[in-house]
Structure formats: C-alpha cells, structure tokens
Structure 1
Amino acid sequence: MSYQPLLMSFEEAAQLRTHLNTDSLMGRSIATEVAALEAYLPIGIEIPGHGEAGGYEHNRHKQNYIHLDLAGRLYLITQDPRYLDYAKTMLVEYAKVYTSFELNTSRDSNPPGRIFHQTLNENMWMLYASCAYSCIRHELTQDEQQLIENDLFRPMIDLFVDTYAHDFDIVHNHGLWAVAGVGICGYAINDQASVDKALYGLAGDSVSGGFIAQLTQLFSPDGYYMEGPYYHRFSLRPIYLFAEAIERRQPEIGIYDLKDQVIKTTTYAVMSTAFPNGVLPALNDSSKTMDIKDEGVLIATSVCFKRYSQDENLMSMAVHQDKVWVHGSGAALSDGVANAGELAGFNWGSLQLTDGAEGDRGGISILRHRDVKNDDTMALLWFGQHGSDHKLHSALDHGHFDALHLSLFNHGQEVTHDYGFGRWVNVEPKFGGRYIPENKSYCKQTVAHNTVVVDQTSQNQGDTATAEARWGESHFFVKGEKQQAMSAFVRGYYPGVDQQRTVVMFEIEGIAKPVVLDLFRLTSEQEHTYDYVVHHSGQIIRTDFDYQMASKLKPLGDKSGYQHLWNVASGNVEQGSLVSWLMGNSYYSMVSSANQGSEVIFARTGANDPDFNLRSEPLMMLRQKGSTHMFANVYETHGYFNEAIEASTDARGQVDKVEVLTHTDAGSAVKLTLNSGKEVNVFVSNKVGVTDETETSLTVNDHNVNFKGAVHIA
C-alpha cells in the first residue's frame, strides 16, 4: 500500500497498539484520548451554520475538528470501525455544505472564514481535518475521496491562498497556521503545488512568505518569539505538525536541521521560560492559566525527544504533563520515562534569551535556584521589544507597556505576578470571548506590571508605534550557585528619564531560601513622581508603619490604568518600610528603603469596571518624588502556615532593614541589616559594558570601596 497517513505510518500505529490497556505513559495517553472521543460520539454529528462569536456554533465546529482528528488517529491504532465511520461521515457532511456557506461576519481584525468568524480558526479546522482524512483516506471509495477533496479541501485552499493571499504570506503566528494548514492539506490530497506554496510562499522565494520564511524570520537567534510565551506556545502546534509531515513526505528538505535546528532552538526557548510549576509567564497578552500541558508544548516535548535529544528535562516535563503525544515520538518518550527511574522536576537553569530577529532588541533574563529539597526559586526580568506585530493587521497589538517587569516565583507559586491579558476566552456574554475593553485601558498599561511608572503615565505614552521603535538592553548577567544577578537598561521610555533594574539572588547563612535584592534606579534632571508597583496575592499579615484606610473608595487616577485601581490605604514611610503577606503555606516579606516623602499605597483592581470584567486583585506601590532615585527592595521567603493543623512558624522574616549607601553612574551600594544585627553589603557596577574584569570604585560613608566584576557581596 503506497499511501501512508501523514503523521503516523501503519507500522507505527501497530506499535502504538501494543500500548492499549497498559499503564505506560503512552497507554494512559491513548486511554485519555479514547475516553474523550467516546464521550463525544453519542452527541452525534451536527454541522451548524453561523452564530455568535465564541458561541455555540463556534464551539461545535471546534469540537468537531478536535474529535474528527481523534477519530482518525485512534482508528489507525485501535482499528475500531466506529471511529472510521464517524470520521468519514463528518468529512462527507462538511463537504456537502461547505461551499454553500457565505463568508462569516468578522468580529475583529482577522478576516472571516466560511465556518468561523476568523480565518485563523478555519486554518486550524483544515489542518486537523486534513490529518484525520489522511488517516482514513485508504478506506474511502473513489467517490468519497473526490467529494471530500473537491468540495471541501480544495475550496478551503482557494480561500486561504487566493482570497486571503495577503494573509497567507504574512510572517506571523497566524501565518504559521495558514501555511501549515494548506501544506498538510496539500499532502493529504496529493496536491504538491499547494504544498510548495505553503513551503516557499506564493512568490516561491522562501523569503516573502511560506513555512521556510516563518522559521527563519520569526524568532531571535536564541529562539525567543516577540509576542511572548503565550503566543509562542501557540505557534508550536503548526510548526511540529507540518514539520513532521514534511520530514515524512520530503525528507530531502531537512526541515529539522533548518537554520541550525531552529525548531529545536525556539522550542527550548519557550520551554525554558516556564515557571517551576509549568505555568508560562504572562508576558504581553497572555493567559494566566497557560502551561506546558498545552497541546503544542506536549507535541514538541515528544518530538524533541525523538528527533533531537533524549534530554532529562524533556522526560521530567513529560512526567509533569502526565501525557505524551499519541505518536511514534510519544512512544519513544514514554519508554524513556519508564527506563529513567526517579526524575526531579524539570530545571532549565538560569539563562538569558535575546529578542529580535538579529538578537539585538533586548530580551529576557531568568535566575533560578534549586535548594537541597528540590524547591525552586525563580526571578524573571523582561526588557525586550514591544510585543506586537503589525505585519498582519494594524489593530493586532498584543504588546504591553511593561519594560523592566519583574516576576518572582517560590514554593510552587508566583509571589509577584503579571496580570496577563484581559479576556474571557470563548465566554460569549463577556464581549464575545474577545479581548475586553479593559485589556487596553488597564492590562496593557504599565501600572498593571511589576515595574516603575513615571508621573502616572504608561511607558512610551502608551502608544504602540512609539513603543515599537524602542527596546531595552542587557547590562549584565551573572550565573552562580550561591549568588547570581541580572541587570538591564531602558532609555527614553519616559522623556528625560533613564531606567536601570538590577536583580541579585543570593544565599544568606541562616535564611532558608535565597533572598532577592531588587535595585531599580532612575536618573533624570527633572523631578518626577515614581511609582514602584508590586502585584501580589494573599493576605497582608503585618507592616512596620502606620497607614490610613480610605474612608471612601476612589480611583488612584483618571488614566493609564490608574482609573481602574481603588485607593484602599496609604501611609508615609520616611525610614523605610516592611510589608509581609501570607500566600498558600508561605510567608513573604518586602523590606524597602525610603527617602524623605516616601509613601506606600495599597490598592485593588476594580474601579471604573461596570461589567466586572477585571479580576479583583491587590497591589501595592512605593511612591517617591525626586529626580534621580533608586528603589532598594529585598524579598524574603520565610516560615510555614497550615491552618488545617493550626501550625504557624517564622511569620516574621530575618531581614530587618535595607539602606541605599550610594548610587552613581559608576555603581550602587546597599546594606541589609538582619534581626540578629548581622550586616550584608551588596555592591553593583553600573558601568556600561561591565565584565568580570571591570574594576569599580565607590565612596561609601567617606570610605573608598573597590570591587571587580558586576556584583560583589560582603
């Protein structure tokens, strides 16, 4: 039999059949998919027409292609004739009506399809339906094949390649789905001309469009994707599904080796940004619930293990995912996990990823520390380019005004966090499941992030075109077992104000978890109001300063996101401040320096939100007026709380005070004082281009201090 299914040969299907009813990772993965399909079959086949964006019709079409794909693949593995009949009937019924559907009504900037409100969803439908078709094509009559190919798949290809040619060739994550859908469909119906358009673009040059152009232009040299991990993981599905089809049908292309194995590089980039609990950082428009169990990351984990490297991190990820891709590569990963013995949690270590196609537009730095109990602490500093891509549509802006954003993770949870996007996905009463208006008025604004807001105005005036012309720059990145650090600059995001953020993670004897020292330095010749913003969760436990509760709730401001924040309480803190809060089973403290006129403000989201679109979440900000100023803050994890057994230990941390000794263009010096009286001095070089050999001299309390390298702790 010459024809083979696209992603799974008949021989591979037979091998996967041996995992049926076993307790292997693959066996459980197959059982999960069988259960999902069996639950959907009794609903029967329905081909709905048009409906509300995100409504019943949309979801039914989506569930149809998901289960159509399951039926095709599981038929090959189980040989259950019911699955064959279901997949065949579904494809035939769609073929009978597809060309009779008028183009839908677009609800956003993406043009409409015949089934969905946007072609992106229709590209996804075609990709999965084509995969299903390739699994059962050999079982269909000639008439059935011609009906499905001529009345369903070819009109779909025409819609994407001809009608929407301007979108088909765009180098963007939407373009990835378009070329992958057309390419896989072309392979499934033996239409090599369409495959070539998908591979090389409509001009056939592999530059102006097509899959090759996508892979060679979308990612930085380190594999980072400008729109952030949420959209990055979304791109992995079409990349891997199409790459697998290409490797099987046209191995001479060498798709997995393209551009120094760019597919592997970009996959490891998104995997390595994940928090230790598997959740992906919410940079730009991002879901707070998206994690490495996402289907794209799941597929990538299996294929990377098979095609590239039997990496222990991939096996640890598979254990966390508790599933592998039901595919030959998934079987290899399942066997690897079975033979690996006990695996610790995945740990990509401390790393830095550049942003921009040439790697010259800032980036992201991540510090990780794993203790003897395999508990992970992580700090993430963001300083890349604005995360929007106007190549597709001028209205499509996923970028946030969040330069020098900091996220902290410890004890299995985000300690300080990003809000993520403002959207209720597929909840049609909530603005049709689209981005809510507050996504622009709050979530994108600088105050919604853990960074500094100048004069209560968002970075780059909250203007996308202005933001796209700027990006941050790495100052230094230092890895180490007991101490490590990262630092970055952004310049011109506020007129006349330069910003530098330095984060040092280090161990202090007698403190169970590493402390995180955050130095945020702002330089200007003019006086400004600086708001250092901290988004946290949990319950405030104590402060070491007096504050006044607001007698009447009022918004903190009238623009740039401040209009959505209730002013809950505030207090003056001229001698520094301490705030402790309880989250889960852990206590956290933030000890801060202060100058004359410093203020701590406690706030909560929800103001000017008549439709209750925003989550009600707390935040605090340190407010300081001045020209050149440095915020020095120490984050400490301490103690344990368990209400069920009425246990509470070490509710007070050990860091008592942090003082700024000096900060100049040459360097900064701060002193931490512990409750025991012990002092820890931290010196940081602010010199541009600092290396391990750079010598810095500072005057501290009338004494000269000399140190070498980026950071010195004494």
Structure 2
Amino acid sequence: MMEYAKRWSSLALAIGASTGVWAAEPPNLVPNASFEQTAEGSVLSWRIDDTMSRWVDDRAATGTRSILIEDASRTAGSSVFSTMIAVDGGKAYTVRAKSFALNGNGLGLYVRCYDSAGAYIRVPDSIAQRTLPSRRRRWKSTSFAVTLPEACTRVQVWLHSYSGSVVSACVDDLELRKGIHVASDQVPEAPVPFTRADVSFAEGPHPFLLVTADDITRIQATADTQEWARRALARFLKSAETWCAEPVVHPDRGGGWYHWYACPKDGGSLQTVSPTQHRCKRCGEMYSGEPYDTVAIMSQHNGLGSRCRDIGLAYALTGKVEFARTARKILLGYADRYNTYELHDTRGPSKRASAGRVGPQTLDESCWLIPITQGYDLVYESDLFSDADRRHIEKDLLRSAAATIRRYDAGKSNWQSWHNAGMGAVAFCLRDRELAEHVVNGSSGFQFQMANSVTDEGFWYEGAWGYHYYALMAHLALTEIAFRSGTNLYANPRYKGLYDIPIRFMAPNRQLPAFHDSGLSSGLPGTKFLEVAFRHWQDANFAWGIHQRGRAWDALLNGVPDVPEVAAPDLKSVNFSGPGFAVLRSGTTIDDMYLALDYGPHGGGHGHPDKLGFSFYALGDYVAHDPGCVAYGLPIHGQWYRQTVSHNTIVIDGQSQEQCTGQLSCFYASPGFQVVSASADRAYDPIRLARTAVMTPDYVLLVDDVSDTETHTIDWALHGVGELSSALPLTERAEAPGTNAGYEHVESVRSARTDAPWSAAWSRPLQSFRVTMAGTPETEIITGRGWSVSSLGKQPMALVRRVASNTRYVALLEPFRGPAPQTTLTEFPLEEGGIACAAHITGARHNDVFLRGSGQSTVVAGNASTDAIFAFASGTDGDVCLAFVDGTSMVRGEGRVASSSPCRLTFRQETKGLWTAQYAGPKNNALKVTSPAWQSARQAMGPPSIFGVDSSSRRGAALRGNDAEATCSFTPETSGTYEIVFPGAPSLAAFREQQHADAAAVAKAARRPAIPEFPIRPFTPPKGEQPVGRRIVVQAEDFTGQGKGEVRKTDKKVAIEGEAFLNWNDPGHWLEWSIDVTTSGVYTVVFRYCTQEEGAERAVVLDAAYPAESCRAIPFPSTGGYSNARDDWRSLALSDVAAGKPIQVYLGAGKHALRVYNLSKPVNLDYIVLEPFVEDD
C-alpha cells in the first residue's frame, strides 16, 4: 500500500443533501456501490490505496458493509478508488454518497476524469469534488452534479481526505447517474461567458512594462515641480545605490512556503536572524532547520526579484551603467540556474502540476517572475547585453518559468490570477501573442476571472479581504503591464469594483473585519491601488483615499501629478448580495456602531464554517471579532480558526457547520431602525437556523431560532474583547465544553446555570459592551478564553448552552463607556408561536418594542401590534420612532403609522419640530401618522412643510399633505426620504450636520487622556526686539524624559537621520526634550514625523505652558505609513489653526523644556527642528 500526499482542495461551493428518490432516475453506473459483492475475501470493483481505510461490517447505510476511513495524519491522505466507469464526455452526471461521520472533518468525494488514452484530465475541485458532512450520529447523503470535459471517456469515484485533515468516517452507497438529479441550487453554476479583449503590443524599444519613456519624462517633471515628488525620487535613487552595491548571491535551491514561518507556540511571525536562525517576534523563541531555513531562502529569491526590478528602474531613470550591470548579474545568474532547481511543493520534492522551481508553488513562482521580467524589460536596451545574453535569459529563464507556471491551470482562483500576471509579464515583454491571448482571453484568463471571480458589487469571490487584496495585486500587475503595452483591460466594467468595494465595506475606523482566511485589513487600499485607480477612473473615493494615505513613491511612479481634495465618502448600510454580507451602520462617526453579518457562499478553499456569524464594532473599535486566520502551517489554524465555535454564531452538538450558503430573507435600513434576517438551514441539515439582527442608534438586538424534531446540544457563541465580568455565580467547570471541533482549545472554563435573564460585559478603557439575554429555563452560560484575531491572542468568550429540539435566543448587544447603563430586556410570550416574536427594551434611554410576525396576520404584544414581518416602536406612544417592514401598520399606545398598501416605512422624530419619513413602496400609497408628539408640535408650532430630500438631505420640491392637529397624512411621489418640518425647527440638512459634529466632538473628547492643566502663554520677544536665532535640530531619540509609556529607538526605518523612535502609541504617554538655545531668537517648531493613522493628535507644552490655544491639540495628519518600506516622513510646523499660520515662539538663550503628550493614535518621530523665524519683506 502507498500513502497519498494530501492535496489542497478548493473545497465545495455547496453541499447537496438528498431529499428522497428522484422519479425515473437512470441506472447507477457505480459497480458494487454498496460494497456487498466480494470474491476471495476482496470487495469487487474497489481499490484501497492507503493504510488508513478498511471494510467494516458493523455499520452500513444499506446492506451489511461500508468503508471506514480513519485518517490521523496531517500529511498523508486516504485514497479509495472505484474501478473505471465508462461515460459520455460533455454530459452532466449526478454523484451521490452516504456518510456517517465519527470524528473530525475533511473527507472529500471526487470524480476523476480520464481521456480515451487513459490520461488524467484535471477538473477544478469546485466542479468535481464535495466535502462529506462532518456531523455525527446519523447517515447523511451528499450529492452534486458535474458536467464532464468533452474529452472524458472514463471516470473513477475517489474518496480522499485532503490537506491537513484528521477525520474518521464511514461511507456507503456510492452513485453515479447520468443527468442532473439534484435540487437546482445544488447544480454548480456554469462559467459566465466573457467578452474577449483586444490584445496589442508595444511598438518600439523597451521599456514598456513598469514604465514607458513618457512615464520617465512625467516622473522627472513632477519631481522638478513638487517637493513630495523630489523627495520620493531622491530616496528611491539613494536606496538603489545601496542595492546596487550589495553582492549578488543566488540561492542554490528553491524556497519554502511562508505559512511555515510562524511560531508553533503562539502563532507569532518569525524574523530571520541568519539563514539558519529564526526568532519569534512575539515570544523570542529561536528556531532552526526545516521548514524554516527554506522559507528564508524564498525571501532571498523574492529579494533578488525586487532588486532586479528596482535597480532596473534606477537605470531607466538615470542611465547609470552600474545599475544595469547588477541587474545583468541577477538575470544571467537565474538563466544559468533556473532549470537546475528541483520541482518541489510545500513539503518537498514533487512532480505535481502546482509545484514550482524557485518557489514551492506555481503561485510563488508567478509572484517572483513579475519583477524579474520587469527588471529585464527596464535594462533590455543596455549595451551590456549581447544578443546571446538576451536569448539565454528569454529561453532559459523567462520562457522556462512561464512554462513551469502554465503546467497548472488553477481555474477560478487567486492562484490563476497570479499565474496570468506572471505569464503575462513574459508575454508582453517578449511580444508573444499566443501566450498573451492565453492570459487575457484564455479559459482561465483575466476576462474569465472578471466574469466569474468578481461579484456584481466588486468582491473577490472567496470573501476574505486578505485574498481580495492578494488577487487584486495580481490583476493590477497584469493590467498595468498590458496597458503600457497597448492593451486596455481597464475597459472591463467589472474591474473597477475590486478597488472600490473595500472603502464601501470598511468600519468607521477604516478596518475591514477578519472574515474567512484573512486578518484585519485596511479598508483603504494601498497607495499603489489608489493611485492607479484614480489615474484610470477619476473616482472621488479614490481621490479621498489618496489624501488619507499621503503621496510618496507609489504616487510618483503610478499616479497623476495633482489629485483634488474631496469630502469623505458617505457610507451607508448595505446588503452585498454577491458575497452574502450584510452591513448595518448606526451613523457615520468613528463611535457609531457597525455590524457585518456573513450569510453568503462558503468562500471556496479559504471559507470558514461561519454562517450567520458577525463582527461587531462600536465606540471606535471592534468589540466582537470574527477570528480570521493565522499562518496555515500552524495546527491551530485548522483546529480552531476553521471551526464554527471560534465564530459568533450557533454550534450544534459540538460540531462545526457544513459548508453551505445561507439565505437572506430581509434587509431594511432606515434612520433609527435597521434589520437584517437570514437563515442557514443546510449548515446542520435538517436543523433550521435563523438569525435576525436589529440595529437602533443605541444597541443591536439579536433573535436566533433553532428548530428540529430531535434534541440537540445548542451553543450560542460570542467572542468579545476586554475583561469579562458578570453577576452570574460562575464557578470552575469540571469538564471542558467539548473535546474536539475547537472546543478543546477553550481555556479557563467556568459556568453557571440560570432560568432568568442575565448579562455579561466585556470592558476596555475606551469601549465596552454588554450582552443581555432574555431568560429561558435550563440555560447554562459557559465562559472561557479562546483565540481571537491574531494580534489580540486569547480573549474572553461565552457559550450559551441549551439542550433542546427548539429554542430561541433573544440577546441585546449594548456598547457603553464608563458605568454600564441599566437596561432591561423582556421577551413577550405570544399566542401566535412559530416565527412570531416580540421584545421589550427599557432603560434610561430606551422604551422600545420590536415585533416579528409572518405578514399574514396581526401580532399583538401589550399595547403594540403590527401586520408586518418586522416592526419597531420607540417611545411610550411611538413618539420617537414608528416603523414597519412589508406590512401596512404599526401601533403602540396612541401612536400609529399606517399605509393604504403594503410597504416599508419608518417615521421618526429627529428633534423637536423635525420628523423624517423613509418610504419604500408603490406609488399613490397614502401614509398616515397619528402621534401625541405630533399633535403637541402642531399645536405649539403651526402647520408643517413636507419636502423630498436626497441622500445628502438636500431638499427637493415641497409636497402637499393633509394636515390635522393629531394626524399627518401624505402620499409620497416615489420611494425615498421625506422631511416634515414645523416652523422654527432646523432643516434636516442643518440638523444632520450639527448632529454629526456633536457626535464627532463627543467621540474625540472621550478618547482624550487626562493630562495636567497648563496655562496659555504666548512666547513673545521683548518689546522692540526681533532677534533671529540659529537653527537647532533635536534628534527625537535624545529625549530627556517620558511617562505613562515607553518608546523604542530604532535605526531600521527608511530615510531616517540618525535614529528614530516608535511605539508612541498610548494616550497620555508624554516625552520631554531639553533644548539648549545658544542664541536668543524667534523660532517656529517643526516636527519630522510619520503615521499611518488618521486622527493622531499631540498636546505641545513649552516651558510648562501652551504657546497658543491650538497647542492643546495639534493634529498630525496621516503620512500613509510608518516608513517601514518607503519614505513616509513629513514635516509639520507648529501652527495656529485658527490664524492659519505658524506659531512664533521667542526663546531666550539657555535651557528650555519641550514636552509633548500623546492625545490619540501612534506617531513616530525622527527629529524636531527649531527654525529661526524671519519676517517676510
């Protein structure tokens, strides 16, 4: 027997569950499908090619026998084959199997295709593979339809446990039937047709991949006229001189997989100390040997690639022959060696199609090949290269590497996107039409990827932000190379969305949630993305992003000379139906709430079993995270991060969900009331799961329903950030909450039982939140610590456990600062039962009721009633807000809002005398509102006016309404927002502007640390004197004191003078410098700093006084980064914002103390300059 190396699977797009026998099905083509036929002790028509599978007689779906697969290895995989089965190529077939899971997950059901000569035909796993269910205790049927390649004449059914999986399961009753015999939503989507793009090549001499002759002229002209560009070019050329002087050393073998380069103890990334020493950045542990040494070699290869490109660019910009000489050494060295490097994958030598030579995967090969090819293009015309040199490089390096990559067609994937970019660089460099057509218009080319891998909204299909940006890096590389060669791929209408969607999705702090295989990512694409996007599309969002990031080398290389200043985008609550993410926002300031709910497709090979999970943000940061991922080489990645219990969702029987796509049932967003409702019935089929999330300006209400005919252990999981506290009598739990599927990694386990309502809070200095849950008999609350996003390590979590066949969780998530508000949550008992639900939220700020009904009858809860599917009222009589979704009325007390036809409507009092109505429904629908608050305003202020308003609250034409003292009625002309304003009240636009300013001021004040009081004392020279001092430079690292924090000195930053410091992150952390002034004079104070963050502020105190009022809070605008990989340093003069000019300070000869307090956000300092102030003539 032989062990099969585990393969990487792109996993299933959906899992089919059979619902019975289809009528008139064709015969089953799988011989001995139930393993009952034997001869001489062997099961006929089946072959076991491993040591971990065996036939068993103690468990079977039908008959007496099944195959038991017990895979305990993370490197070797199981392999069970059927005999060859004759089929018709190009036809659709249905594949089916029954499985009984015992432990773990990761067993795949495959169809392997062969042509008439017996050659294997690769078909993407997303088409020809499904993962068998991991749920225990019952036989489960899995089915899917597959259309075979035209050349396919025979197939095998194959059972195989893929990469990293540990699984035990029995399988029985394999089927292969001609035709499609599954539900329509289980049929794989056919590839979307795409339009071919015209492919053209550059004419004339090189270069034309990274820059053209026109680009070089533009770069030099911009550097001559703009200071930021001059600095960027000077820094780049200075760095190029350093790179050019370093020796060129080619590794003697290919490199390793970077996912191995992580600490097994804590997941921290490793730092290369030497080629054989690798230190954990988090705990300091040192590692050596494999797989670490080979990963360091991959870094050397990538470094040579980047170096070749950058010194090639330096040659193109300057013509200095030494740059071309070094690039030639790199290129010829690789041409001599490339084909001697052994094909290998992430685990060693390999003949797999995805194996690389320089890298462990064709993916890595492509990433390395792009800068190598760009470097060649940049120095191609140098006289240093002979014709023989060029033939050697093109044949033995570029074409050979492209051939290595072309061996593996990865189909719909980020891999193939990089393949296209790597091969595309070679194709356009060498003007190879056949290869260029392949990467642009081929069956897996760029045009195919845009049509099939990008959703209508602009998401990359895997639903992980890290892979969104990763794929976009590849597309950008290809499209820029193609564009400079005369092929305009930017004309593809779906391409722009990839750049735009992160901004539309980001939380108020500009971070994206860590969904699927991704960490926390910035919602602002990198500067190169933004500069390229603005150059091609001139979109205001890209212009705004550029100014948030700051302009430096990427702007000079890829952008336009001038970018307009524009307002920040007005981000809204949105349902992104393509990837299945619903985003709710309570407002637009940094403190406002944000909830992102994942209900959509699994996400291919980088998806997680996390349907109905969410990330929750409030008061300036995420307070409940989706965990994202860690390095894939770490066992914890599969054991925890890819398990359902690590997400904020529902877990059944201690097992992770099956891969599936949820269903959205409702999305509605309006000021004061927003709701999203979704289900995931196939996550634990036949168990039904549904989650409804309601957002108001102050809290999120969750209503979660679980229903089945059998009893289950049901866990409601919540992962917060901060210190966990609760009034519950929590005691140490004798048992862990579970033994596998991630539960084994929960630490510090405690628990309590209660039938009553309960609450718990996660607390941090600047943001806390509390969960309050309505009481249900026999509820166990289990607390512990589990891994969060990688940067936070382990954080407190809670599991709310019930043993039942049907249950409902009603929970309130309420953010707060300071003492927790007193809020009561009550679930109303309703006679209607079933889907009907009602919750009452009361407290100092709330008197709200939420109703959910069927839409077929009226739901009544106390003095509230509705015929809608969702409804909400705030205030005793709904005097703050009355809303309903897909109905005709909502009543609370004496307040009532109604329509003549079903619609969606929110009627809200914004402030005294100002109401809004948000309407979505048919034309000529009469709306009527009755409210004591309305009656009071009408009596006190007179008749109101009604206006339609746009998304910016600008008024349109006035509407006629039927005004009465107790009732407002009008007929909206279209769906939209309407302003109803009484005389003397502010307009909606003015109110919203002031509301936003007030909220922003509150948010900023809440973040400011308490610092000592200092007087304001202008530093003016003695009367009649205007002395001029001498320039003084104070190195930042030469501070003489600090408190409430500790900075770290560094000499590793790009473009620093001397040393700099970092870790000036904590609010309240102060630094002080003693400045020796030798000549009395008037000075301006200038800081040389960098920061990636927006909103950084510092208080500046000189000799125990503020030189001006504005020195209480000096803004330090984002420079786009921390000068880790480029020059992000900027100069900031201490200025009077109100006066719009630098602050002048008179300093007499002698010692002076400059103290600077961190008010918010990190800032790095390089040096401080006291510039003599000279009055202009």
Q: Same fold (TM over 0.5)?
A: yes
Deviation string 1:297-346 (CA, Å, 9 cap, x unpaired) is 543322221222322x32333344345672678433x622xx416x54x5
Question: Are residues 248 and 39 of structure 1, via their aligned partners in 2, closer, same or farther at CA, if it must alter by over 3 Å?
Answer: closer
Can you list the C-alpha shifts for 1:656-714, whole angstroms capped at 9, x where unaligned? Answer: 434355485554221112147x52111235x4xxxxxx67621325x671154644233
Alpha-carbon separation, structure 2, partners of 1:249 and 1:98: 27
Does 2:475 match 1:217?
no
2:440 to 174, 180, 199: 199
Structure 1 residues 671 and 127: CA distance shift in structure 2, 3 A = same
The residue number in structure 1 matching 2:900 is none
Q: Determine which of 289, 299, 323 is the counterpart of 1:59.
A: 299
* 1:669 match: 838
Q: Secondary structure at the match of 2:775?
A: coil
TM-score by length of 2: 0.50
Change (3 A) 1:564 1:28: farther
Q: Once the 2 structures are TM-superposed, how far is the Cα of residue 531 of structure 1 from its aligned partner?
A: 1.1
* Partner residue, 1:479: 669
Which letter does structure 2 place at the counterpart of 1:436? L
Aligned to 1:426: none
How far apart are residue 271 of structure 1 and its match? 4.1
Q: Matches of 1:630 and 1:35 in 2, distance apart?
A: 65
| Bigger radius of gyration | 2
- Judge conservation of contact 2:243–2:311 (CA < 8 Å) in 1: no
CA distance in 2, matches of 1:416, 1:549: 24
More moved, 212-221 vs 70-79:
70-79
- In structure 2, the CA distance between the partners of 1:18 and 1:618, relative to structure 1 (3 Å rule), is farther
Q: Choose between structure 1 and 2: higher strand proportion.
A: 2
- Distance of aligned partners of 1:658 and 1:570 in 2 relative to their CA distance in 1, 3 Å threshold: same
1:115 match? 358
| The one of 547, 565, 575 aligned to 1:340 | 565
| Residue from 805, 827, 850 that aligns with 1:659 | 827
Question: How far apart are residue 605 of structure 1 and its match?
Answer: 3.0
Matched with 1:645 is none
Which residue of the partner structure matches residue 291 of structure 1? 522
Cα 1:29–1:233 shift into 2, 3 Å: farther
Q: Which residue of structure 1 aligns with residue 647 of structure 2?
A: 449
Stretches of structure 2 lacking an aligned partner (at least 5 in a row): 1-203, 259-294, 875-1177
1:236 — aligned with what? 472
Q: Does 1:370 align with 2:615?
A: no
Deviation at 1:48, TM superposition (A): 0.6
CA distance in 2, matches of 1:46, 1:39: 15
More off after superposition, 346-355 vs 666-675 = 346-355
How far is the alpha carbon of 1:110 from its aligned partner? 7.4
Local SS of the residue matching 1:494: coil
Q: Is the 8 A contact 2:208 2:485 kept in 1?
A: no
Q: What does residue 542 of structure 2 align with? A: 314
**Alpha-carbon contact 1:587-1:651 (below 8 Å) kept:** no
2:726 aligned partner, one-letter code: T
SS at match of 1:602: strand
- Which whole-Å CA distance do the structure 1 matches of 2:710 and 2:780 have between them? 20
In the alignment, is the contact (CA less than 8 A) between 1:488 and 1:501 conserved in 2? yes
Matched, 1:88 2:328: yes
Q: Are residues 407 and 30 of structure 1, via their aligned partners in 2, closer, same or farther at CA, if it must alter by over 3 Å?
A: farther
SS at match of 1:637: strand
Distance 2:507 2:420 in 1: 31
Cα separation, 1, equivalents of 2:230 and 2:381 = 26
Matches within 5 A, 1:675-690: 675=844, 678-685=846-853, 687=854
The change in CA–CA distance for 1:704 and 1:100 in structure 2 (over 3 A counts) is: closer
Change (3 A) 1:492 1:293: closer
CA distance in 1: counterparts of 2:401 and 2:557, whole angstroms: 30
User: Identity across aligned pairs (percent)?
Assistant: 22
Does 2:788 align with 1:619? no
The aligned runs of 1:593-604 (5 Å cut-off) are 593-604=774-785
Greater length-normalized contact order (CA 8 Å, ≥ 6 residues apart): 1
2:712 matches 1:528: yes
- Partners of 2:591 and 2:242 in 1: CA distance: 39
- Identify the match of residue 493 of structure 1 among 683, 689, 705: 683
Checking the alignment, whether the CA contact within 8 Å between 2:852 and 2:868 is kept in structure 1 is no
Cα distance between partner residues in 2 of 1:304 and 1:52: 33
Give deviations 1:538-565, integer Å, cap 9, x for gaps. 112x323221134x7x532112111111
Taking the aligned partners of 1:318 and 1:219, their CA distance within structure 2 comes to 24
User: Of Structure 1 and Structure 2, which has the larger fraction of its residues in helix?
Assistant: 1
Q: How far 1:134 moved relative to its partner? A: 2.0
For these two proteins, the number of residue pairs brought into alignment is 626
**Structure 1 pair 28–400 and aligned structure 2 pair: CA distance change class (3 A):** farther
Tell me the amino acid that sits aligned with residue 838 of structure 2.
A
| Structure 2 equivalent of residue 629 of structure 1 | 807
CA contact (8 A) 1:502 1:519 kept: yes
Cα distance change, pair 35–276 in 1 and its aligned pair in 2 (3 A): farther
Q: Show the counterpart of 1:129.
A: 372
Q: Secondary structure at the match of 1:126?
A: helix
Does the C-alpha gap of structure 1 residues 408 and 324 become closer, same or farther in structure 2, counting only changes over 3 Å?
A: farther
Against the structure 1 CA distance between its residues 459 and 217, is the aligned structure 2 distance closer, same or farther, given a 3 Å change threshold? same
1: CA distance between counterparts of 2:781 and 2:398?
61
Q: Secondary structure at the match of 1:117?
A: coil
Q: Which of the numbers 233, 250, 257 marks the counterpart of 2:491?
A: 257
The one of 323, 328, 331 aligned to 2:559: 331
* 1:66 shift after superposition: 2.4
Q: TM-score, normalization: structure 1? A: 0.80
Superimposed CA distance per residue, residues 591-622 of structure 1 (whole angstroms, 9 cap, x where no aligned partner): 2212011122111237xxxxx99943321122
- Change in CA separation of 1:35 and 1:411 when aligned onto 2, cut-off 3 Å: farther
**Which residue of the partner structure matches residue 511 of structure 1?**
none
Contact 1:366 1:379 in 2 (8 A): yes
Determine helix, strand or coil for the equivalent of 1:326: helix
Q: Using a 3 Å threshold, how does the CA distance of structure 1 residues 65 and 327 change in structure 2: closer, same or farther?
A: farther
C-alpha distance in structure 2 between counterparts of 1:576 and 1:369, whole Å: 26
Partner of 2:36: none
Tell me the distance in 2 between the aligned counterparts of 1:175 and 1:43: 34
Q: How has the CA–CA distance of structure 1 residues 351 and 439 changed in structure 2, closer, same or farther, with 3 Å as cutoff?
A: same
Residue in 2 that maps onto 1:350: 573
Residue 222 (structure 1) shift: 2.4
Aligned to 1:155: 400
Aligned counterpart, 2:598: 382
Deviation at 1:187, TM superposition (A): 0.7
* Equivalent residue letter for 1:626: A
Query: 2:523, 2:232 → 1: CA distance?
Result: 16
Segments of 5+ residues of structure 1 without an aligned counterpart are 202-207, 356-361, 389-396, 424-433, 461-466, 508-513, 607-611, 640-649, 688-693
Answer whether contact 1:501 1:520 (CA < 8 A) is retained. yes
1:484 Cα offset (Å): 2.0
Counterpart-to-counterpart distance in 2, 1:671 and 1:440: 40
- Does 2:173 correspond to 1:12? no
CA-to-aligned-CA distance 1:520-540 (integer Å, 9 cap, x gap)? 222223332221111112112
Contact 1:657 / 1:674 at 8 angstroms: preserved in 2? no
Call closer, same or farther: CA 1:293–1:366 in 2, change over 3 Å. closer
Superposed displacement of residue 199, structure 1: 1.8
**How many angstroms apart in 1 are the aligned matches of 2:235 and 2:778?**
60
Instruction: Please name the residue that 1:574 is paired with.
Output: 755
Q: Distance in 2 between matches of 1:665 and 1:37?
A: 70
Q: Which amino acid aligns with 2:452?
A: Q
Q: Does 1:247 align with 2:487?
A: no
Offset of 1:376 from its aligned partner? Answer: 4.1
The aligned counterpart of 1:437 is 635
Partner letter of residue 519 of structure 1? V
CA distance in structure 2 between the aligned counterparts of 1:136 and 1:587, rounded to whole angstroms: 57
What whole-Å deviation, never above 9, does each CA across 1:96-115 have from its counterpart, x for those lacking one?
A: 22222222354288732121
The RMSD of aligned alpha carbons is 3.1
Distance 1:407 1:31 in 2: 43
